[in-house]
Amino acid sequence: QSALTQPPSASGSPGQSVTISCTGTSNDFDYNYVSWYQQHPGKAPRVIIYEVTERPSGVPDRFSGSKSANTASLTVSGLQDEDEADYYCSSYAGGSSPVVFGGGTKLTVL
């Protein structure tokens, strides 16, 4: 299973909305086990979206996820300075292989 494809960078001004895409093959998103992770420099990642659209408790509702065909997306609304971080998507595509990640997107708040 190949890595999922994310844009290397994204940016937006405070208060704006930004959408990060995660593209795979037609099989990569057959299951609704798509997750998104946020990672600040020097820190471990934390899950912010799971099962395409679900948010763990404590994650602001400014973060939302969606999926269509072979693309999953993370939208960050009302950008805040603390949203500046790396974001990774992941998906389970069936079989016995471990979860596969996207290459990551560095989000810059201008």
Locate 80 and state its tokens. 């805040």
Q: How far is the CB of 60 from other proteins (least distance, A)?
A: 17
Q: Are 90 and 3 in contact (CB under 8 A)?
A: no
Minimum CB separation from other proteins for residue 51, in Å?
Answer: 7
CA atoms of 107 and 84, how far apart (whole Å): 5
Q: Which residue, 33 or 84, is less far from other proteins as judged by CB? A: 33
CB of 99 to other proteins, least distance (A): 5
Measured from the CB atom, is 3 or 10 closer to other proteins? 3
Write down the least CB distance from residue 93 to other proteins, Å: 10
Contact residues for other proteins, defined by CB under 8 A:
3, 31, 33, 35, 37, 44-47, 50-51, 56, 88, 90-92, 96-104
Closer to other proteins at the Cβ: 15 or 94? 94
Do the Cβ atoms of 6 and 88 come closer than 8 Å? yes
**Residue 25: which region, alpha, beta or left (left: phi > 0; alpha: psi -120 to 50)?**
beta
d(CA 110, CA 100): 30
